[in-house]
Chains A and B, each alone.
Chain A
Amino acid sequence: MSETRTFGIVAEYGDVDSVMAAARRIRDAGYRRWDVHTPFPVHGMDDAMGVRPTILPWITLGAGLSGLGLSILLQWWTNAHDYAFLISGKPLFSLPANIPVAFESTILFAAVTTFLLVFVLNGLPRFYHPLFRMAKFKKATDDRFFVAIEARDEKFDPGATRKLLESTGAASVEICEEPLDGQVLPGWVKFVGVLGITLAMIPLVVAYRARNAKTDTPRLHLVGDMDFQPKYKTQAASPLFADGRAMRPQVDGTIARGELRENQHLELGTVDGNFADGFPVAVTRELMERGRNRFDIYCSVCHGYGGQGDGPVALRAKELGEGAFVAPTDLTDDYVKKQPAGQIYATIRNGIRTMPSYAAQIPVADRWAIVLYLRALQRHSDASIADVPLEKREEIK
């Protein structure tokens, strides 16, 4: 047996009432380092022992508030400051969008902190406790109640403390010894701990190396059949055909569905290679209305409802003031006014310089409707009173 020293004095009780009474007396006697062990939670014991309120709630509150503040800071920094990124036209820094994350982080910080602190404040994890050396103490999980006053308490005095406990009606009072070297971790626990920490570093080291080294070997493909699908991409080569191309050109003398461009004026906006003036379709009121509807949907975002190049995209771009932006053309400008209808049609169909083609979204008939409406906008842009029918002039005065 190794050398021992006194851990404290332990008293045993047979029922709740006597252990409660004992706790009150020890509290009143002014002891600080002592504890009560019971097989089940006893209501009112905190009070009887004079346990002071824990500071845990305050720390939880602080952690929650830190989570709140940090998450808002993070969102401001990432989205509004360091890499300003416009999402859904919302302000770069907008509280409503930040609240879900802020809310979750508040809870996360508060909960994790509380969880960890419950262990820390309770002195856990702890591999060993001297009380476990007492055979009797096992009954603390069954039907006995124990009070242990520790020797490190300032008021502890072997004789007086023992007397106090005996006078509280304890069933037995015993001294609990603890070995001097009792607090040392067994060697194998240390070994497992060090091993675990070392192993846990490996992934970090591998990741660090991979990020900072160059290599010729291709990366690992974990999901091979997603990365390598059995298909040909546009412009890919294929050994299957004599010309080595996977894409097949149109067979001579055939026309794909929907690609018969018999009426050049209608389809391309040209007659004999020149832009055609005039409309290849009947100009009606319905066509005009349709044109307005399509223009408002497809073109106004950039060119504006009036066609003057002041759509929301243009305004926003101007506000951001990034150099490379080409402003949408003012469609009521003389330069566009003078263009034949076929040319404007071709702009929609093929796109022009920085403006993309709208052929995929807008079918042929609608393109002409838009051209027609555009003509009306252009006309409107420099209309005078002479353009208004006599009978309507009164109304607009």
Chain B
Amino acid sequence: MKVSPENIIELSERPPRLGEQAPALGRRALVVGCLLLIAGLGLGFSGHHGLAHVLHAWLVGATFVLSIALGGLFFVILQHLTAAGWSVVLRRQAEMLASLIPWAAALFLPLVVVTLLGHAELYPWADHAWAAADPVVSKKIGYLNGIFFTIRMALYFVVWYELTRWFVRNSVAQDRDGDPQRTVRMRRSAAPGMLVFALTSTFFAFDALMSLDPHWFSTIFGVYFFAGCAVAVFSTLILGSLALERGPLQRIVTVEHYHDLGKWLFGMVFFWGYIAFSQYVLIWYADIPEETIWYKHRLHGGWQYVSALLLFGHLLVPFAGLLSRHVKRNRAALGFWAVYMLVLHLADLLWLVNPTIGGHGESEGMVFGLTDLLLWLGLAVTSFGVFILRAQNQPLIPARDPRLDESLGFENQ
């Protein structure tokens, strides 16, 4: 099922695009998503934990969307960094995922504003009086305060936006002019880009997720968050390719690409486990109360089941499930694992965020319910809508990338 040279020329002249029904689908997703959000907000505010629960659930949902977008950015930079040929037909999908970053910024805006206004339901350090009185947090006020937090958040999103824009703009422009120099330029900027990405995503994880419990710290936390992003984006790319292969990307995405995406997903699942365990074992070994408290919250009051779910469901089971080459080359099986990993990724974020609902970094046991599900679903579905509406503007593959034929004819040895 090779694509012949003539086909490649035709591809680059009339590259595949989303079908006619796409805008309608996108708009419908937006409407459904908004309804879900309204329901979730209504339920959340009337619930026992009110604003605190809504903010935490929102943080999980927004981080979920952002993690896919960041994963997309990572994927794009990585392909340029390594001058990868196999992935060219997938790269545009990742570019479009990364283009969700401004939208993700909008999702984080309410959280930042609430914190800036001094509401401490989400980030306890936003309560100045409490922070100043706390012997540990008082030392961190210079970093953990509303204004500096807002500045940093703005910085992360601006940096990510600029990175994305640079890679996407060049890639889309190449669709028109076919200038191979663009590929060279993107490769040159990939290394510094990766460095900036690593630093910003690490500090984002510190600020947005780790500071939920401002006493606690773990230097590997940024990598942990990144591992989640990687798991999320490879799952999403698998699902995106499966969906598009039924239409415009037919005979462009092949089983060989799934095989490679599957390898990545498998690798990242294990990487996540490796990092999660690295964090755990050091804290377990040292056994210092100021560090173990974080796991204590997550091993009591119902959270211990989520912890066990992550150990088995996010690591051991998918490790065994994705190990075989046959699974990676089987569309249905790989699709199942992609959906599965996205669900478990949500569980991971839930596990990071919700145990701090008790306020001031304390746990109140298992706070989780329909509110969370409605808000997550609402955020995911609206984001899907935005994604579709933006994606229809460009071709679905970088049609004049110099390595396109390599990617089309790619075969695993």
A residues in contact (CB < 8 Å) with B: 41, 43-44, 57, 61, 88-90, 96-97, 99-100
Bits for B251-290, please: 1 = Cβ < 8 Å to A, else 0.
0000000000000000000000000010011001101000
Contact (Cβ within 8 A) A41 B413:
yes
Contact (Cβ within 8 A) B411 A96:
no
List the 5 closest pairs (A to B, CB-CB), nearest first: A43-B411, A96-B284, A96-B281, A99-B277, A41-B413
Contact (Cβ within 8 A) A96 B325:
no
Q: B231 to nearest A CB, angstroms?
A: 19
Contact (Cβ within 8 A) B287 A44:
no
CA distance A97 to B286 in the complex (A): 11
Note all chain B residues with C-beta closer than 8 A to A90: 285
Note all chain B residues with C-beta closer than 8 A to A41: 413
Query: Given the known A-B contacts A96-B280, A99-B277, are A88 and B411 also in contact in the complex, defined by CB atoms under 8 Å?
Result: no
Q: B389 to nearest A CB, angstroms?
A: 39
CA distance A41 to B281 in the complex (A): 44
Q: A41 to nearest B CB, angstroms?
A: 7
Can you list 14 pairs linking A and B with CB atoms under 8 Å apart?
A41-B413, A43-B409, A43-B411, A88-B285, A88-B287, A89-B287, A90-B285, A96-B280, A96-B281, A96-B285, A97-B285, A99-B277, A99-B281, A100-B281
CA distance A169 to B268 in the complex (A): 48
CA distance A36 to B136 in the complex (A): 70
Note all chain B residues with C-beta closer than 8 A to A89: 287
CA distance A61 to B285 in the complex (A): 30
Note all chain A residues with C-beta closer than 8 A to B281: 96-97, 99-100
Q: A218 to nearest B CB, angstroms?
A: 41
Out of B280, B285, B411, name the residue touching A44 (CB < 8 Å): B411
CA distance A211 to B277 in the complex (A): 42
Which residues of B from 91 to 144 have beta carbons under 8 Å from A?
none
CA distance A61 to B323 in the complex (A): 10
CA distance A89 to B287 in the complex (A): 10
Q: A277 to nearest B CB, angstroms?
A: 41
Note all chain A residues with C-beta closer than 8 A to B280: 96
CA distance A90 to B284 in the complex (A): 9
Q: A300 to nearest B CB, angstroms?
A: 17
Contact (Cβ within 8 A) A57 B325:
yes
For the A-B complex with A43-B411, A61-B323, A88-B287 known, give 17 more contacts whose Cβ atoms are closer than 8 Å. A41-B413, A43-B409, A43-B413, A44-B411, A57-B325, A88-B285, A89-B287, A90-B285, A96-B280, A96-B281, A96-B284, A96-B285, A97-B281, A97-B285, A99-B277, A99-B281, A100-B281
Q: B284 to nearest A CB, angstroms?
A: 5
CA distance A88 to B288 in the complex (A): 12
Which residues of B from 272 to 313 have beta carbons under 8 Å from A?
277, 280-281, 284-285, 287
Note all chain A residues with C-beta closer than 8 A to B413: 41, 43
CA distance A57 to B413 in the complex (A): 15
Note all chain A residues with C-beta closer than 8 A to B284: 96
Q: A132 to nearest B CB, angstroms?
A: 25
CA distance A153 to B67 in the complex (A): 57
**Complex: chain B residue closest to A87, CB-CB:** B285
Note all chain B residues with C-beta closer than 8 A to A96: 280-281, 284-285
Most buried by B among A41, A43, A89, A100: A43
Note all chain B residues with C-beta closer than 8 A to A97: 281, 285
**Complex: chain A residue closest to B409, CB-CB:** A43
CA distance A88 to B413 in the complex (A): 49
Note all chain B residues with C-beta closer than 8 A to A99: 277, 281
Q: A58 to nearest B CB, angstroms?
A: 10
CA distance A88 to B409 in the complex (A): 56
Which residues of B from 325 to 343 have beta carbons under 8 Å from A?
325
Q: B126 to nearest A CB, angstroms?
A: 34
Note all chain A residues with C-beta closer than 8 A to B287: 88-89
CA distance A44 to B284 in the complex (A): 50
Q: A64 to nearest B CB, angstroms?
A: 10
CA distance A200 to B281 in the complex (A): 41
Q: B333 to nearest A CB, angstroms?
A: 17
CA distance A110 to B176 in the complex (A): 49
CA distance A44 to B287 in the complex (A): 55
Note all chain A residues with C-beta closer than 8 A to B277: 99
Note all chain B residues with C-beta closer than 8 A to A100: 281
CA distance A43 to B280 in the complex (A): 44
Note all chain B residues with C-beta closer than 8 A to A44: 411
Note all chain B residues with C-beta closer than 8 A to A43: 409, 411, 413
Note all chain A residues with C-beta closer than 8 A to B285: 88, 90, 96-97
**Complex: chain A residue closest to B284, CB-CB:** A96
Note all chain A residues with C-beta closer than 8 A to B323: 61
Q: A17 to nearest B CB, angstroms?
A: 12
CA distance A43 to B406 in the complex (A): 13
CA distance A331 to B339 in the complex (A): 64
Note all chain B residues with C-beta closer than 8 A to A61: 323
CA distance A57 to B326 in the complex (A): 12
Q: A108 to nearest B CB, angstroms?
A: 16
CA distance A79 to B284 in the complex (A): 18
Q: B329 to nearest A CB, angstroms?
A: 12
**Complex: chain A residue closest to B277, CB-CB:** A99
Note all chain A residues with C-beta closer than 8 A to B409: 43
Note all chain A residues with C-beta closer than 8 A to B411: 43-44
CA distance A277 to B323 in the complex (A): 76
**Complex: chain B residue closest to A90, CB-CB:** B285
CA distance A178 to B323 in the complex (A): 44
CA distance A42 to B344 in the complex (A): 40
CA distance A44 to B413 in the complex (A): 9
**Complex: chain B residue closest to A41, CB-CB:** B413
CA distance A100 to B282 in the complex (A): 11
Q: A357 to nearest B CB, angstroms?
A: 29
Most buried by A among B280, B284, B323, B325: B284
CA distance A17 to B381 in the complex (A): 49
CA distance A173 to B409 in the complex (A): 32
Q: B308 to nearest A CB, angstroms?
A: 14
Bits for B388-413, please: 1 = Cβ < 8 Å to A, else 0.
00000000000000000000010101
Q: B407 to nearest A CB, angstroms?
A: 14
